[in-house]
Structure 1
Amino acid sequence: MSALIDALHRRLPTERVITDELRRLAYGTDGSFYRLIPEVVVVVHTEDEVRDVIQLARSHARPVTFRAAGTSLCGQAVTDGILVLLGEGFAECTISPDGAAVRVGPSIVGAEVNRRLAPLGRKIGPDPASINAAKIGGIAANNSSGMCCGTAQNSYNTLAAIRVLLADGSVLDTAEASNVQAFRQSHAGLLDGIAGLAAEIRADHALVHRIRAKYKIKNTTGYSLNALVDYTDPVDILAHLMIGSEGTLGFISKVTYHTVPEYAHKASCLVFFPTMDIACQAVVGLKQQPVDAVELLDRASLRAVAHKPGMPPQLKTLDEGVTALLIETRAPDGAALQGRIKAILAELGNYALVEEPAFTTVPAEMEALWNVRKGTFPAVGAVRKPGTTVIIEDVAVAVPDLAACCLDLQHLFAKHGYHEALIFGHALEGNVHFVFTQDFGTEAEVARYAAFMDELCTVLVKKYDASLKAEHGTGRNMAPFVELEWGTQAYDLMRRIKTLFDPESLLNPGVIINDDAEAHLRHLKPMPAAGELYAPVDRCIECGFCEPQCPSHGLTLSPRQRIVGWRELSRRKANHEEPGQLGEDYLYMGLDTCAACGLCSTACPVGIETGALVRAARGEQLSGVARQLGQVAANHFGATQALARTALKAGHLAAGLVGDTALSKLTKGAWKPGMPHPQPLGRASRTSGDKVVYFPTCAGRIFGAESAEQALSATVIRVLERAGYAPIIPDDVNSLCCGQSFSSKGMASEADQKSAALEAALLKASDNGRYPIIMDASACTMRMKSFLEGRLQVLDLIEFAHDALLPRLMLHKKEAPIMVHLNCSARRMGFDQKLRLLAQACAQDVVMPAEVKCCGFGGDRGFAVPELNAHALRKIHDAIPAGCCGGYSSNQTCEVGLTANTGLTYRSIVHLLDECSAEAARMATC
Structure 2
Amino acid sequence: MLASNVKQFEQLEETLLACIDKARIFTEPAQLLAYGTDASFYRLVPKVVVRLHNANEVIYTLRSCAALNISCTFRAAGTSLSGQAVSDSVLITLSDQWRGHEILEQGHKITLQPGVIGADANKYLLPYGRKIGPDPASINTCKIGGIAANNASGMCCGVAQNSYRTVDSMQLIFADGTQLNTADNNSVSRFKMSHPSLINDLKDLCEQVKNDSALSKLIKHKYRLKNTTGYSLNALVDYQDPIDVIQHLMIGSEGTLGFIKEITYNTVIEHRYKASALIVFNDIETACQVVSVLAKLPVSAVEMMDGRAMHSIADKPGMAAFIKQLDLEVGTLLIESRASDLESLNQQCAAVMEAISNYTVKESIEFTRDPSVVESLWAIRKGLFPAVGAVREVGTTVIIEDVAFPVQHLAAGVRDLQALFDQFDYHEAIIFGHALDGNLHFVFTQSFETESEIVRYSDFMDALTQLVAIKHKGSLKAEHGTGRNMAPYVELEWGKAGYALMQKIKAIFDPNGLLNPGVIINESSQAHIENLKPMPAADDLIDRCIECGFCEPVCPSRTLTLSPRQRIVLYREMKRSEQSGDSAYSKSLADTFQYQGIDTCAATGLCADRCPVGINTGDLVKKLRSLKYQQFAPIARWTANHFSTTNKLLNVGLKVNQVAQETFGSARLNKASKGIANLSNNGVQRWSAEVPGANTFKLKSTFNKLHGQQNDKKVVYLASCSSRSMGQQADNKDQRSLTEVTSSLLAKAGFDVIIPDNINDLCCGQPHDSKGFFDIAKQKSAQLETALWEASEHGKWPVLMDTSPCAKRSIEAFSEETVQQMQVVEPSLFVLNYLVEYLNITPLQEPIMLHITCSTRKMALDKQMLQLAQQCASEVIVPEHIECCGWAGDKGFTTPELNSAALSPLRSQIPNGCTRGYSNSRTCEIGLSHHSGIAYQSILYLVDEVSS
TM-score by length of 1: 0.97
1:738 is the counterpart of 2:764:
yes
**Cα deviations across residues 794-831 of structure 1 (Å, max 9, x unaligned)?**
22222111101111111121111111111000111111
Q: Which amino acid aligns with 1:878?
A: S
Residues 303-322 of structure 1: pairs in structure 2 closer than 5 A: 303-322=311-330
Which of 592, 612, 616 aligns to 2:599? It is 592
SS at 2:401's partner residue? strand
Mapped contact 2:636–2:768 kept (Cα < 8 A):
yes
Residue segments in structure 2 that go unaligned for 5+ positions in a row: 1-8, 704-708
1:447 aligns with 2:455: yes
Q: Which residue of 2 aligns with 1:782?
A: 808
Shift of 1:770: 1.9
Select between 802-811 and 699-708 the one with higher mean Cα deviation.
699-708
Q: What is the match of residue 644 of structure 2?
A: 638
The 1-side partners of 2:128 and 2:259 are apart by 30
Give the superposition deviation at 1:681: 4.3
| Structure 1 residues 117 and 664: CA distance shift in structure 2, 3 A | farther
**C-alpha deviations, 1:120-149, integer Å up to 9, x for none?**
111100000000000001000000000001
User: Residue 581 of structure 2 aligns with which residue?
Assistant: 576
Aligned to 1:749: 775
Map of 1:923 onto structure 2:
none
Aligned position for 1:628: 634
* Counterpart pick for 2:923 among 893, 896, 899: 893
Match of 1:352 in 2: 360
Cα–Cα, structure 1 residues 323 and 906, in superposed 2: closer, same or farther, change >3 Å? same
For the 8 Å contact 2:693–2:728, the answer to whether it is kept is yes
Bigger mean CA offset, 840-849 vs 470-479: 840-849
Q: Is 1:183 paired with 2:191? A: yes
Per the TM alignment, residue 685 of structure 1 is displaced from its structure 2 partner at its CA by: 5.6
Shift of the 838–473 alpha-carbon distance from structure 1 to 2, 3 Å rule, reads same
Q: Secondary structure at the match of 2:18?
A: helix
Letter of the 1:635 counterpart:
N
Letter in 2 for 1:328: E
Query: Is the CA contact 2:312–2:388 (under 8 Å) kept in the aligned structure 1?
Result: yes
Cα distance in 1 for partners of 2:729, 2:573 equals 49
8 Å Cα contact 1:102/1:259 also seen in 2: yes
Say whether residues 1:67 and 2:75 are aligned partners. Answer: yes
Contact preservation (8 Å) 1:682, 1:711: no
CA drift of 1:655 comes to: 3.4
Correspondence 1:559-708 to 2 at 5 A = 559-578=564-583, 579-624=586-631, 626-656=632-662, 657=664, 659=666, 660-665=669-674, 666-667=676-677, 670-684=686-700, 686-687=702-703, 688=709, 689=711, 690-705=713-728
Number of the residue aligned with 1:924: none
Mapped partners of 1:850, 1:47: distance in 2:
23
Which residue identity is paired with 1:581? S
From 826, 837, 845, give the equivalent of 2:875: 845
CA distance in 1, matches of 2:866, 2:226: 41
Q: Distance in 2 between matches of 1:355 and 1:372?
A: 15
Question: Equivalent residue for 2:746?
Answer: 720
Question: Tell me, what secondary structure is at the counterpart of 1:569?
Answer: helix
CA contact (8 A) 2:541 2:619 kept: no
Q: Compared with structure 1, are the counterparts of its residues 716 and 431 closer, same or farther at alpha carbon in structure 2 (3 Å cutoff)?
A: same
Q: Is 2:318–2:376's contact at 8 Å kept on the other side of the alignment?
A: yes
C-alpha distance 194-709 of structure 1, shift in aligned 2 (>3 A)? closer
- Aligned residue runs from structure 1 range 235-384, under 5 A: 235-384=243-392
Alpha-carbon distance, 1:349 to partner = 1.3
In structure 2, what is the Cα distance between the partners aligned to 1:780 and 1:333? 44
1:896 partner amino acid: I
2:865 is matched by which residue type in structure 1?
L
Shift of 1:296: 0.6
1:686 is displaced (CA, Å) by 3.0
Report the RMSD for the aligned CA atoms in angstroms. 1.4
The answer on 1:53 being equivalent to 2:76 is: no
Distance in 2 separating the partners of 1:672 and 1:148? 51
Distance 2:559 2:10 in 1: 25
- Report the counterpart of residue 3 of structure 2 in structure 1: none
Partner of 2:942: 912
- Hey, what's the Cα distance between the residues in 1 that align with 2:661 and 2:596? 31
**Which letter maps to 1:903?**
G
SS at match of 1:70: coil
| 545, 548, 555: which one aligns with 1:550 | 555
What secondary structure, in the 3-state scheme, does the structure 1 residue paired with 2:918 have?
Answer: strand
Q: Residues 14-413 of structure 1: matches in 2 within 5 Å?
A: 14-413=22-421
Task: For residues 372-425 of structure 1, give each alpha carbon's deviation from its aligned partner in whole angstroms, at most 9, with x where no partner exists.
Answer: 000000001111111110000000011111110010000000110100001000
Distance 2:140 2:75 in 1: 16
Cα distance in 2 for partners of 1:293, 1:878 equals 39
Indicate conservation of the 8 Å contact 1:32/1:75, yes or no. Answer: yes
Q: Which amino acid is 1:809 matched to?
A: L
Superimposed CA distance per residue, residues 125-175 of structure 1 (whole angstroms, 9 cap, x where no aligned partner): 000000000000100000000000100000000010011111111111101
Q: Find the counterpart in structure 1 of residue 795 from structure 2.
A: 769
How far apart, CA to CA, are the structure 2 residues paired with 1:440 and 1:725?
A: 64
Match of 2:436 among 428, 451, 454: 428
Q: Distance in 1 between matches of 2:316 and 2:615?
A: 16
Instruction: Report the more deviating stretch, 183-192 or 52-61.
Output: 52-61
Rounded Cα–Cα distance in structure 2 between residues aligned with 1:364 and 1:597: 27
Cα distance between partner residues in 2 of 1:253 and 1:696: 51
Contact 2:99 2:116 in 1 (8 A): yes
Question: Could you tell me how far 1:346 is from its partner in structure 2?
Answer: 1.4
Secondary structure, counterpart of 1:343 in structure 2: helix
Of residues 523, 526, 532 in structure 1, which corresponds to 2:531?
A: 523
Query: How far is 1:356 from its partner?
Result: 4.9
Of the three residues 479, 496, 499, the one matched with 2:504 is: 496
Residue range with higher mean Cα deviation, 176-185 or 679-688 = 679-688
Mapped partners of 1:798, 1:567: distance in 2:
40
TM (norm. structure 2) is 0.95
Kept in 2: contact 1:709–1:715 (CA 8 A): no
Question: Quick check: 1:654–1:663 contact (8 Å CA) kept in 2?
Answer: no
CA change 1:486–1:319 in 2 (3 A) is: same
- Measured in 1, the distance between the counterparts of 2:559 and 2:228 equals 30
Tell me which amino acid in the other structure corresponds to 2:724: R
Compared with structure 1, are the counterparts of its residues 664 and 144 closer, same or farther at alpha carbon in structure 2 (3 Å cutoff)? farther
Percent sequence identity is: 48
Query: CA separation in 2, counterparts of 1:167 and 1:260?
Result: 32
Give the alignment of 1:749-828 within 5 angstroms. Answer: 749-792=775-818, 793=822, 794-828=824-858
- TM-superposed CA distance for 1:355, in Å, is 3.0
C-alpha displacement of 1:623: 4.5
1:854 to 884, 892, 898: 884
Equivalent-residue separation in structure 2 for 1:709 and 1:35 (angstroms):
56
Give, in whole Å, the separation in 2 of the partners of 1:108 and 1:26. Answer: 22
- Seen in structure 2, the aligned counterparts of structure 1 residues 511 and 706 have a Cα distance that, compared at 3 Å, is closer
- Over residues 48-93 of structure 1, what are the superposed CA-to-partner deviations in whole Å (9 max), with x where a residue is unaligned? 1111111121222221000000000001000000000012222211
**Quick one: distance in 1 between partners of 2:842 and 2:878?**
20
Alignment coverage as a number of residue pairs: 914
Conserved 8 A contact 2:906-2:931: no
Counterpart residue identity of residue 617, structure 2 = T
Question: What is the CA–CA distance in structure 2 between the aligned matches of 1:554 and 1:269, rounded to whole Å?
Answer: 42
Structure 1 gaps of 5+ residues are: 921-926
